[in-house]
Each structure stands twice: as C-alpha cells, then as structure tokens.
Structure 1
C-alpha cells in the first residue's frame, strides 16, 4: 500500500482518460478530487463504481474511493496540481474546438494559488497550452503566469498528452514514456516531478508546442498507415484479390508492415486529431488530409457493398456485428461501425439487428430506425445476412458450421474461411472484403 503524501490533485474531466488517471494518481498516495459536469458520473465514482468499461478500472476505483484517496465533485477545490482531461472535438468543417479546455481553465482559475501546477492532457492544436495560459493570466492578474524569458512565475503550466490503448489504459498510463512540454523549462521540470510519482516509463521534457505537435503526429502517422491498408482493400476487392492474403504475404518482407483494413477509422484520437494539423496548415498537410479522406471514404464504400449484398437477399434479417471503434471495448466515439450500421438501419429498418456485446442499449443514432439490439446466438438463429464490422473475440469464436449458410460481408477478415455458396442452391452466398 503506497504511503500517503500531502499532495492534492484535481483532475478535471472523468472520462476515458481522466478517471483512470485520477485513480492511478490516488493509488500513488495523493489526495485526488475528480471534477466532472455530470452528476451521474460524480455519483457513480463516489459510490466506488465506474461509468466506463476498462480492464481492472472498477477494482482500482473501488479501492482508492474506499480508502478516501479519490472522491468526485461537480465543483473544483484548491489543490497543488490540476490535470485537465476534457474533450477537444472538431466541428463539421473539421475546425478544432478548444472551448472545453478554456472552460476548464475558467473553472480552475478562482482556486489557483502560488506554487500550483496546471497540466493539460487533452489532445489539442498547437498553441492551446499558451491560450490556456493567456486566459489564466487574464482571470488571475494577481498571479505571475509563465512567459519564456521573463523569469520565475507563480504558476507552472505544461502539456502532457496520454498515449494509451483502450483495454490497456491502466498499464500504459504507467509504463509508456511521457512527453512533457512546459511553457518554460521550469514548468516542464515541475510537471516532470509530478508524473514521476506514478509513471514508470521515461519522462522526457520539451516545449509545450512541441509536445502538442508530438501527440498530433503520433495519431496522424497511424491514420496515414491505416489509410494505405483501407485503400489497398478497395483496390484488391475490385481486382478480385483477397486483400488479407496480399497483406500477409507482403508483410513477410523484412521491412514491410502493412496494417489491417476495416470499415474506416474511429475513436476520439485517430479519427479526429489529424484534422488539427490540416486546419493549421492546409496548404502543406496534403498527405494527412488525403489519409483522412481515404478512411472516411472507406465507410461509404462499406455501406455500398453491404447494401448490394442485402439487396440480393430481400426479406432476410440483417445482423451488423459490432458497434465499437475497436475490438473488445465499449467505446463508440467516432466509430465507423456505428456510421455503417446507422445508415443501414435507416434504409432497412426493422430488418437490421445489431450485435454489440459491450452495449446495454443502442446508441442514440439508432433512435427511430426500428433496429434491435440482440446477442450473437439470436443473430445466428434469426439472421441470414451478416455484416462484420468489429473483430470482437466473441465473433471470432463462432464456428464455421454455425455460419456456413449465411451471406457474409466481412470487413475485418475474421471469417475468411466462409464457403461461397450460390444463392440459387437454397443457401446464401458468402462474400469477403
């Protein structure tokens, strides 16, 4: 059991990053206050429970809450370190929205005191940490905010993005290296001292602007590489070639590592963050923009292919397998599976059955469509057409003899052993990517 220390930490935002971060900091011995705008989230955390699905998070939260190291509130209180982990969405025209970050800064400003550290963890456009600093300076003229070359300040302000994989968040928040960017080197050093209390990975300091760009570059790199796989899948499909076999064989080259295609790209990070770079420099971010367009376009391609298959079997019930943006998690943010299934549900109505083992109810996008949430066993019994959108482990476990008479469009390549049977033979035809 960690030794308690005197440090008080306030984590603003108790979402997929904020709550695990708050719980881990509390486990290190600090007194942590989690602040959220949702009364439901606050009540859930204070009861020792969680409102999100993440491996081992429920036990960790229960433990630190029961020991009095973590509590949640709708209002912020004085602390020594403030960690801001709020959403940074993009608008319909892909412009970044940092209003939640600035609102969090306004919330923190009244309780700031000399010696405090304010750390932004939200993925943000370059310059957001400085914008937060400027707002705090306006709201608290009695405190000296950090400015390069102006000597010591009363408040340290830094940027430190997370780099975690859903399903492994608790492990990776501790073990992964962290890039800590300070408004000034002194700010970076103060933030470094804080992260060293619960992070085992290397903590490397830089400027706030560089750290902001690092986060965007990491996710854009992933997006570009996924776009190559998704573009390849369309080309191979039109050429009548098995893209999964092509990728498997190409990856035997010692310097080739092609990723796996899918119905698009989802999640709050990879599907969103590249637009921050494009918005900042549209003239030069040509490859990054194209990758975003390829991955978004793959979702349209999947809808068209799925519709062609469904139209070949009029009257058959349709099972859309998976709604999450990644396998084995309950996170539906920016999910291409949701986008595909929603469009199919709007077109085919009550024929569409949705199979998502990590959902207790359907996302709001399906309201009024007539689509129904069912389990995989019911889908196998009732549905003749299957659209595989997410490679959840439970879907991989369905044996061939239970799906051999189904028409299948598999965007994830998990049922590649599906036999091809012509419709005129009394059974349904299986099709691949």
Structure 2
C-alpha cells in the first residue's frame, strides 16, 4: 500500500466539489494536483486563494498549497489515483450531457499506468462509469481493463459526493460514502483510497447501483419539495399560511414535510432527476411531475412579483438574493436568479438586487438595467421587497424596518410581516 505521503492524486475539476475534495486529500499529506480548464482558477489556487465561497476552504487551501501538498495546472500528469469531479449538465431537451466526464477520462488515458485507480465522483446517469471504463479500454489497449476479461491492470469506480454547501469540508469527511466498483476488486481499491480521509461508513457495491443511489437521493428530495411547493399554492388559494400548516403537520411523528420556496436550484436536485426520466421515461411520471411542479413554482413567483410591482408603479424594487440556497455564493440553476432576471427584463432599472455573496451582477442581469445594492440601501430606498433567498442577513431585518414595505416572501422568513392582501373567498360546493 502506498503511504499517504507517497500517494499522488489528480483531481479533475476544481469547482464546488473538486477543490474542497483536493484540499481535504492534500491535508492527509498526499501530493495532489488539481486540473482545471480555466487558467484563472489555476492561478488563483496556486497563489493559495480560492475562487468559490465555502466555510473554512480559504484557510485549508492556503495551508496545503504553502506546504506543497496541493498545486493546480491545466495539464494532467501521472498519478496513482484520478478523481473526476467535472460538471454533468443536461441539454436543452433535458437529456444528460456527460461530455465533460468523457473528456476528463480521455486525458487520464494519456497518463494511465498499471496499478492506477480512476474514480468518477460527478453525478452521472446510470452506466456512465462503464462508459469511462470502455473509453479507457479503447484508448489504452495495452492495459487490461476491469470487467472485460481475466484480471485487470487498473481499477475504475464510482463514488458520488453527498455534501451540503456551507458544510462541504465537514461532510466530505463525516458523511457515509457509497463506492461502486466496475468489479469488486475495483470497489476495494477505491475503498482503500477513501478510508485515508473519510470517517463516515464506506459501503461498497457495483457501479450502477452507486450511480442510481445518487440520483435517487436527489429525486427523493425533489419530489418532497414539489409536495411542499404544491401545498404553498393550495394554501395561497385558501388564504392560509403554508409555513404554519407545515410546522403543525410536522408535529405528527411520521410526517416530515420540507419547506416551499421559489423553485429548486443547485447542481444536483434541479438536474439529477432528469437523468432518471431520460433513462426510463415510461416509468418515471412522478419524478417528471415533481420537476415540472418545481419549475412551475418559479413561473408562479414571477407572476406574483409582477403583479405586486405593477400595483406599485414607479418605485424601486429590491430582490433579496440570487443564490440557490442560503448563505452560499452558488447561483447554478437558481430559481432566485431566474425570478430576478425575469423581473429585470420587464422592469429594467426599477429592479435592485441584494446579494451579499456577489461582488458583481451575473451576466444574465448585468445588461438589464438592474443594479446591485446592499441591505441597508434596500431598506432605506425600496418600498417593495421580494424575498427569494433566506440568507441570515435577510432574516435579521427587524419588523420595524420593513413593516411599511410591500413584501412578497417566498421563503417564509418573516412570519410577522403584514399581509399583502386579503385572500379571496373560496367557492365551496354545496
């Protein structure tokens, strides 16, 4: 077994998962090379700084870079373990795009040698790990690929991340990991690697089961959020506070309803269920419907916000938050960003964006006429406020500073806020 201080690891992709993973591995004393196609990211990491917001990541990266355990490059080098942590987006037709994964595998093939381990961490459709193996087998016929004959010269496995932004460094270590190998031997080799830095349980299985496990976890959450979002629409019709209803319902010992919002965002929950739908459309009506409910909730918020703004002509409007969840700087697939962009397209320079985790507006908003302001300016100058993200700084605004505002609160962070309007009466069947 290679010792921690002799182990060479390459992490392909230095994004929200790749960089923390590389830094955590480097902290064990391994020599880690992070690969990214963005030269600016490489330069930032090599200077000991970070390009993403994550609790304690800046200090960890600074330390492991200073000690020589982590460096970054645009060019791959030989190693003992290769970890693929690149994006897996979906195309316009919602079909999965694994092009970045296959490109990463192609680069690995150029330096692959006997004894190496290749691990895919990117959330992927079922069968992707086998495609990685098949690609390596075609590009390196001089090496025996696992699962295609007697014996093998290298290992290929799948081990998805399952971390929460804002707690990534803790959860990379403490959370259980599901490790799926192309063969049982591949799973064991990957298990040995993860045991160097993971304190949680490491459970081995086959690659396809591990791939589907990751998709199942995110589809489960998406379906449950869709239920909460659908409840919020019903509660709006009935003139009931949905957050109070959920709070009371969750007092039942076997009920645990999640919280509604303006939709679902992020690199996992808003994307991964489509991988299951694309793989088996005939047997996934519930998963598809949940995706449609959550995407439709964003459209509903745009409509409600539009009505509120039009009812208050000429005044500036504060959109509170752009991130896909609280207290992070990640805007991927963010429903808050989609709402803000739609409103900025319609109302132009009346829209003020309040996002404490952004130094500049994203490209989608930059040309719309919207402006970036701070919380205090929003309180002073904006009679209309639309809460899109439950950042702590927004929760901290007391009632006396917002009591006279016209507020659309999509996150339920201000239960004491005066109501926007009297709910319309229901027509009851007789």
- Shorter-chain TM range is over 0.9
Structure 2 counterpart of 1:379: 378
* Corresponding residue SS for 2:281: coil
Secondary structure of the corresponding residue to residue 79 of structure 1 = coil
Per the TM alignment, residue 431 of structure 1 is displaced from its structure 2 partner at its CA by 8.5
Alignment of 1:112-151 (within 5 A): 112-147=112-147, 150-151=149-150
CA contact (8 A) 2:164 2:171 kept: yes
CA deviation vs aligned residue, 1:274-308 (integer Å, no higher than 9, x gap)? 00000000000110000000000000000001111
Q: Distance in 2 between matches of 1:431 and 1:354?
A: 28
Per-residue Cα deviation, 1:311-356 (whole angstroms, up to 9, x for no partner):
1110111000000000000000000000000000000000000000
* Matches of 1:71 and 1:245, distance apart in 2: 50
Alignment match, 1:18: 18
The alpha carbon displacement at 1:29 in A equals 1.1
Match of 1:329 in 2: 328
2:4·2:196 contact (CA, 8 Å) conserved in 1? no
Contact 1:226 1:260 in 2 (8 A): yes
- 1:100 deviates by 0.1
Partner of 1:282: 281
> Distance between the aligned counterparts of 2:4 and 2:188, measured in 1?
22
Mapping of residues 296-335 of structure 1, within 5 Å: 296-335=295-334
CA contact (8 A) 1:408 1:430 kept: no
The 3-state SS of whatever aligns with 2:19 is: helix
Secondary structure of the corresponding residue to residue 111 of structure 1: coil
Match of 1:394 in 2: 393
Q: TM-score, normalised by structure 2?
A: 0.97
* Unaligned ranges ≥5, structure 1: 421-428
Secondary structure in 1 matching 2:71? strand
Q: Is the 8 A contact 1:408 1:431 kept in 2?
A: no
Q: Indicate the residue corresponding to 1:347 in structure 2.
A: 346
For residues 384-413 of structure 1, the C-alpha deviation after alignment (integer angstroms, 9 at most, x for no partner) is 100000000000100111111100000001
Distance 2:207 2:327 in 1: 34
Within 5 Å, give how 1:81-230 maps onto structure 2.
Answer: 81-147=81-147, 150-230=149-229
Looking at structure 2, the residues matched to 240 and 398 of structure 1 have their Cα atoms a distance apart, in angstroms, of 25
Q: Distance in 2 between matches of 1:321 and 1:261?
A: 17
Shift of residue 92, structure 1, vs aligned partner: 1.2
DSSP 3-state at the match of 2:278: helix
Distance 2:272 2:421 in 1: 36
Post-superposition CA distance 1:247-270 (Å, at most 9, x none): 111111111111110000000100
C-alpha deviation, 1:115, in angstroms: 0.3
Q: C-alpha distance in 1, partners of 2:226/2:392?
A: 24
Q: CA RMSD in A?
A: 1.1
Per the alignment, residue 408 of structure 1 pairs with 407
Secondary structure (helix, strand or coil) at the match of 2:192 reads: helix
Structure 1 residues 430 and 29, CA gap change in structure 2 (3 angstroms): farther
Q: Secondary structure at the match of 1:55?
A: coil
Q: Distance in 2 between matches of 1:396 and 1:137?
A: 54
C-alpha separation between the residues in 2 aligned to 1:375 and 1:176? 36
User: Partner residue of 2:70?
Assistant: 70
Residue pair 1:410, 1:431 contacting (<8 A) in 2 also: no
Q: Distance in 2 between matches of 1:165 and 1:287?
A: 25
Contact residue 407 and residue 431 of structure 1 kept, 8 A: no
Question: Structure 1 residues 151 and 235 mapped into 2: Cα distance closer, same or farther (>3 Å)?
Answer: same
Q: Does the 8 Å contact 2:180/2:209 carry over to 1?
A: yes
1:325–1:335 CA contact under 8 A, matched in 2: yes
8 Å CA contact 1:407, 1:430 repeated in 2: no
Equivalent-residue separation in structure 2 for 1:329 and 1:368 (angstroms): 24
Distance in 2 between residues matched to 1:325 and 1:228, nearest whole Å: 19
Seen in structure 2, the aligned counterparts of structure 1 residues 430 and 360 have a Cα distance that, compared at 3 Å, is farther
**Shift, 1:139, TM fit:** 0.5
Q: In 1, distance between residues paired with 2:152 and 2:404?
A: 70
Structure 1 stretches of 4+ with a deviation exceeding 6 A read none
Question: What's the counterpart of residue 424 of structure 1?
Answer: none
- Residue in 2 aligned with 1:426? none
The aligned residue for residue 426 of structure 2 is: none
In 2, Cα distance between the equivalents of 1:67 and 1:152? 39
Distance change (3 Å), C-alpha of 1:431 and 1:390: farther
Show the counterpart of 2:27: 27
* 1:128-176 residue CA offsets vs partner (Å, 9 max, x unmatched): 000011111111110110016x332001000000000000000000000
CA contact (8 A) 1:32 1:71 kept: yes
Distance apart, 1:367 and its partner CA: 2.8
CA distance in 1, matches of 2:254, 2:96: 36
**Number of aligned positions between the proteins:** 421
Does structure 1 retain, via aligned residues, the 8 Å contact 2:13–2:86? yes
